[in-house]
């Protein structure tokens, strides 16, 4: 199985305030995100992390990645330092990727695009960075934890969601 996630921000207390994550402290936050990840992802699964993995205050990235199930790929985010990108726990590290998955052409970047490669041929753009606050375009999904119930998500789950208007803004439900 292939999963996508982003914006975990392990060890970064700003997410408790700015993103209103439901935790009283970073230890509680980090433990919950690790538990959610490992309940979702099995050791043989593949995970594409679309950036902003952790704060330098969170410790050693390789040790963190050892706690998380799956073979992990990093799409670099604006908060990913060399200590994160240089970790030996990644299968690959890049700023952008295009993959074929379940007969779909998928464009991966930390940032959402206004247009992307093969958009007119129904390609899909997965991104992070916006913490669930950006109104998506068709076939564009924020895979960051704030938009995905604080856990990794599959492409199939994203594609099955139905758009719903909530308070004048588009949202999604299963």
* Chain centre distance of CA 90: 15
What is the rounded CA–CA span in Å between residue 46 and residue 8?
17
pLDDT at 165 over 50: no
> What does the pLDDT look like over 35-78, one tens digit per residue?
999 999 999 999 999 999 999 888 999 999 999 999 999 999 99
Query: What pLDDT is attached to residue 147?
Result: 95
Q: Where are the beta strands (DSSP E) in the chain?
A: 2-5, 46-49, 71-75, 90-94, 96-101, 104-109, 124-127, 140-142, 162-166, 169-173
- Rounded to 10 degrees, what is the CA torsion of 4, 9, 14, 16? 60
Range of the domain at 23: 2-173
Number of compact structural domains in the chain: 1
Compute the Cα dihedral for 106, 111, 116, 122 and give only its sign.
positive
Q: How confident is the model at residue 167 (pLDDT cuts 50, 70, 90)?
A: very low
pLDDT at 172 over 70: no
> What does the pLDDT look like over 141-150, one tens digit per residue?
999 999 999 9
SS3 content of the chain, % helix, strand, coil (to 5): 25, 30, 45
Query: What pLDDT is attached to residue 129?
Result: 97
> What does the pLDDT look like over 66-79, one tens digit per residue?
999 999 999 999 99
The position carrying tokens 């439900």 is 173
> What does the pLDDT look like over 110-132, one tens digit per residue?
999 999 999 999 999 999 999 99
> What does the pLDDT look like over 86-105, one tens digit per residue?
999 999 999 999 999 999 99
Q: What is the CATH number of the domain that holds 122?
A: 3.60.21.10
What is the rounded CA–CA span in Å between residue 29 and residue 145?
12
Instruction: Output the pTM of the full model.
Output: 0.91
């Amino acid at each position: 199985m292939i999963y996508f996630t982003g914006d975990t921000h392990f060890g970064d207390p700003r997410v408790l305030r700015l993103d209103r994550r439901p935790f009283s402290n970073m230890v509680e936050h980090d433990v919950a995100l690790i538990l959610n990840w490992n309940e979702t992802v099995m050791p043989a699964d593949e995970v594409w992390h679309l950036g902003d993995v952790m704060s330098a205050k969170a410790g050693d990235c390789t040790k963190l990645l050892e706690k998380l199930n799956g073979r992990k790929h990093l799409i670099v985010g604006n908060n990913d330092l060399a200590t994160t990108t240089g970790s030996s726990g990644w299968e690959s590290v890049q700023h952008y990727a295009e993959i074929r998955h379940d007969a779909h052409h998928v464009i991966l970047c930390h940032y959402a695009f206004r247009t992307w490669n093969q958009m007119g041929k129904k390609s899909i753009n997965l991104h992070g960075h916006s913490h669930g606050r950006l109104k998506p375009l068709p076939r564009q999904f924020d895979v960051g934890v704030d938009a995905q119930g604080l856990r990794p998500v599959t492409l199939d789950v994203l594609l099955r969601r139905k758009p719903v208007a909530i308070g004048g803004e588009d949202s999604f439900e299963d």
